[in-house]
Structure 1
Amino acid sequence: MLKTSRRPAIPRRSTRAIKFWGIFLSVYALVMIYPWVRIDMLMGVAWQPGPVTYALMGAVPLLVRFTRERLPRLVARWLLLLCMTWLGLSFILFVFLVLFEPFNLILSPNPLHAAWTLLGATALSAASGAINAQLIGTKTLRLHFQKLRGNLRVVQISDVHIGSRRPGLLRRIVKKTNALQPDYIMITGDLIDLPHIEVDELRPLGEFEAPVFYVIGNHERYIDLDEIDARLRQLGFTVLRNEETATRQFQMIGIDDADDAAQVGTQLSQLDLDREAFKILLYHRPAGLEAAAEHGIDLMLTGHTHAGQIMPFNLVVKRVFVHLRGLVTHGPTTLYVSPGTGTWGPVMRLGSRSEITCFELSGQSHPE
């Protein structure tokens, strides 16, 4: 009788990882390499980059991304800026090419003219996006909650991404935030996205004129989380790590960012929540709204999506997160998804804007 040997089964988690990286690298190559190959074809120039050149165009940004912690911080920051700008240009050109190809099939315009038009449109869009990314707007929302005692002004900051963005951005954010005269400041993660950002570079954060509550985002998890925690506490932040605290007017809850879809429900079930108190929940990503409602959360503040940052990438983000930006109500809970105060990756915004959000909350009036 012949014996047959079975190949060991590939664990499901490994299969998912292989599938994810296969899709990711395919899409990445399509966005980073195809646009420039197509432009070369349209221009018909005498010198044509070879496969090695195109491979390097795609590989270098990834290499910088994964080796940045071993590079001097200043070098890593500038290399990341260059690589992410290249990524932004490639993505914008890719979008224009998707629109161009059907037009090209029908009308067959002059290839050289088409190439220069595509490059010009890409350059103008990227320049517009770069200027827009430097602008920080303020948005004021007025909300009423029956459970709240008195009135409250809260300012939310999210997704600043110091590291990808230079620390000088903090001074502008702090100045604009203080001008709003908030009672409390809430920071919903991704404040920092490069390791070894020292306290001196974060010093402007100590100039906030109101108490600051902070929760971590996914980017803090990827780098020196414990050191970030210590630095921000040193600057006077209240860092909430799956815990709650109380003020005179409300109960404050902060939950660590996690890839687990059940994270909000799991952590809330382990906390001592005051059923009668007005409750504010900080969580980095717009997930767990139903669980928050089940636990009687009144206001949930999140970020993470950047509102897509560069359109039409918002359509992709919308496939992952149902709530892309703005206000959503579910049962007793009002959710707000910030479009972010900074940017990640390319310092560009098209179809979105950076925002500091001011919430003017009104409630029951009680005599002192």
Structure 2
Amino acid sequence: MVAVFVVLAVLAAVAAFHHYAWRRLVRDTTVGPGWPRRAGTAVFVAGPVLMVGALVAERAGAPFLLQRIVAWPGFLWMAFALYLLFALLVGEVVRPLLRRFFGPERLPLPEPVARTARREAGAGPVATTTTVLAPPSPGPTRRLVLARTVGAAATVAAAGVVAGGTYGVLRGPAVKRITVPLARLPRAAHGFRIAVVSDIHLGPVLGRGFAERVVDTINSTQPDLIAVVGDLVDGSVPDLAPAVAPLARLRSRHGTYFVTGNHEYYSGADPWVEHVREIGMHPLENARVEMGAFDLAGVNDISGKSYGEGPDYGKALGDRDRSRAAVLLAHQPVMIHEAVKHGVDLQLSGHTHGGQLWPGNFVAAAANPTVAGLDRYGDTQLYVSRGAGAWGPPVRVGAPSDITVVELASKRA
């Protein structure tokens, strides 16, 4: 019941915003019920319908073709609506300041137009001309010009932000490099490089072409090991197997290791674990492997608890030799507290997207101990990647995507 009220509240808020935006951008900028007003109204009806349709189609498991049809316009509208709201609110602040620059209430009218009139006099036609001043049409009001100016500026600003954020996602993630010293790492493992990639989110928006760019970027770093820390997909194996296929080309000295994220459970975690194994990855389902100089462990995402497949730290870490360094793959940063209890040296995570759409970073900070980057909790360090892809809108603002090469450093070197 609570969930129903939350959904209704969100839908009411979405409807209220779109009505406000329609008033400012359509009603206040048009004169009468002509085609411009009808066209603008159609846009502000179709946009939110496509947005809700994209969300519902993905979560309800609609036919994949339908998901792809509604995803691009629906999710782009979601991002555009967010920044349009911010731009319109800024417009409300500057509107009173701009009024003084638009002169009188009604702008100056055009000069009177001279017309020639002919009249007849007496028995014969006598041509005479007189000048008649044709009444000019009323000029646009200051309010109309101001509304059009502010509305145009808000629309261009929102569209520009979304266009730039979309380009940032589609061109692929940048490579970020950090060095992490580990007290228990032996000298033999000094300089060991782990390519960390999270939140690729292959689905109805980001497909095979995007996966190829991610693979090429990872392989270009020539890592010793590749860690895929969850949220690889948004959809089923039959729908997305062709999109995921390029990941079979991932290359590193010690292979590619994978742990589940929350979106794997939304999409069917068991089939995906089997599929990534088929294309050459090594799933770590509450498991641990010895990399020679250190232990590499992985735990299921906490969302798996609802499916009876949650994280089991005891199984992954309980019987290990604590004199050895341990690196843990865990999708969500909130799992750091269990990592600390189990003496992990470094946890590698994703999930947050760095907020993805500013000011989403503040929301992410309220739900996660670390939003992005390297942090320390007791004797355990946590590194959180912003992720390679994007969920929902293929847009990032203030949170550029990344693939991080984590170089382990021995304090004994």
Structure 1 residues 167-182: aligned runs within 5 Å:
167-182=208-223
Asked if 1:243 is matched to 2:293, the reply is: no
Asked if 1:127 is matched to 2:178, the reply is: no
Match of residue 183, structure 2, among 146, 152, 176: 146
Asked if 1:345 is matched to 2:392, the reply is: yes
Distance 1:352 1:72, change over 3 A: same
Kindly indicate whether the alpha-carbon contact (under 8 Å) linking 1:32 and 1:87 is maintained by their aligned counterparts in 2. no
User: Per-residue CA shift, 1:175-231, capped at 9, x if unaligned?
Assistant: 111111111100111111122334343221111112111111111111122221111
For residue 280 of structure 1, give the secondary structure of its aligned residue in structure 2. Answer: strand
Shift of 1:239: 0.9
Paired letter, 1:117: A
Shift of 1:258: 2.3
Give distance in 2, aligned partners of 1:273 and 1:37: 64
Kindly indicate whether the alpha-carbon contact (under 8 Å) linking 1:142 and 1:361 is maintained by their aligned counterparts in 2. yes
Shift of 1:56: 5.6
Structure 1 residues 160-199: aligned runs within 5 Å:
160-163=200-203, 164-195=205-236, 196-199=238-241
Asked if 1:286 is matched to 2:360, the reply is: no
Distance 1:216 1:70, change over 3 A: closer
Counterpart position of 2:134 = none
Counterpart position of 1:77 = 68
After TM superposition, the score normalised by the length of structure 1 is 0.86
Counterpart position of 1:201 = 243
- Once structures 1 and 2 are overlaid, which stretch shifts more, 120-129 or 102-111? 102-111
Shift of 1:301: 0.9
Kindly indicate whether the alpha-carbon contact (under 8 Å) linking 1:317 and 1:324 is maintained by their aligned counterparts in 2. yes
Paired letter, 1:143: V
For residue 193 of structure 1, give the secondary structure of its aligned residue in structure 2. Answer: coil
For residue 213 of structure 1, give the secondary structure of its aligned residue in structure 2. Answer: strand
Structure 1 residues 36-115: aligned runs within 5 Å:
36-47=22-33, 48=37, 57-68=47-58, 71-108=62-99, 110-115=146-151
After TM superposition, the score normalised by the length of structure 2 is 0.77
For residue 348 of structure 1, give the secondary structure of its aligned residue in structure 2. Answer: coil
For residue 329 of structure 1, give the secondary structure of its aligned residue in structure 2. Answer: strand
Structure 1 residues 297-316: aligned runs within 5 Å:
297-316=344-363
Distance 1:95 1:329, change over 3 A: same
Kindly indicate whether the alpha-carbon contact (under 8 Å) linking 1:341 and 1:356 is maintained by their aligned counterparts in 2. yes
Give distance in 1, aligned partners of 2:14 and 2:301: 26
Distance 1:337 1:122, change over 3 A: same
Paired letter, 1:204: P
For residue 301 of structure 2, give the secondary structure of its aligned residue in structure 1. Answer: coil
- Once structures 1 and 2 are overlaid, which stretch shifts more, 149-158 or 281-290? 281-290
Kindly indicate whether the alpha-carbon contact (under 8 Å) linking 1:309 and 1:349 is maintained by their aligned counterparts in 2. yes
Asked if 1:359 is matched to 2:403, the reply is: no
Structure number with greater Rg is 2
- Once structures 1 and 2 are overlaid, which stretch shifts more, 217-226 or 353-362? 217-226
Paired letter, 1:65: L
Asked if 1:321 is matched to 2:368, the reply is: yes
Give distance in 2, aligned partners of 1:312 and 1:67: 26
Give distance in 2, aligned partners of 1:199 and 1:190: 15
Q: For structure 2, which runs of at least 5 residues remain unmatched after alignment?
A: 103-145
Distance 1:342 1:97, change over 3 A: same
Kindly indicate whether the alpha-carbon contact (under 8 Å) linking 1:153 and 1:184 is maintained by their aligned counterparts in 2. yes
- Once structures 1 and 2 are overlaid, which stretch shifts more, 37-46 or 66-75? 66-75
Counterpart position of 1:232 = 276
Paired letter, 1:201: A
Sequence identity of aligned pairs in percent?
A: 27
User: Per-residue CA shift, 1:317-354, capped at 9, x if unaligned?
Assistant: 22222411111101111111111111111111211211
Kindly indicate whether the alpha-carbon contact (under 8 Å) linking 2:353 and 2:386 is maintained by their aligned counterparts in 1. yes
User: Per-residue CA shift, 1:277-297, capped at 9, x if unaligned?
Assistant: 211111112103222112111
Give distance in 2, aligned partners of 1:268 and 1:166: 33
Give distance in 2, aligned partners of 1:174 and 1:41: 48
Shift of 1:254: 1.6
Distance 1:55 1:242, change over 3 A: farther
Paired letter, 2:168: N
Give distance in 2, aligned partners of 1:33 and 1:314: 27
Shift of 1:46: 3.1
Asked if 1:330 is matched to 2:377, the reply is: yes
Kindly indicate whether the alpha-carbon contact (under 8 Å) linking 1:33 and 1:57 is maintained by their aligned counterparts in 2. no
Distance 1:23 1:105, change over 3 A: farther
Counterpart position of 2:121 = none
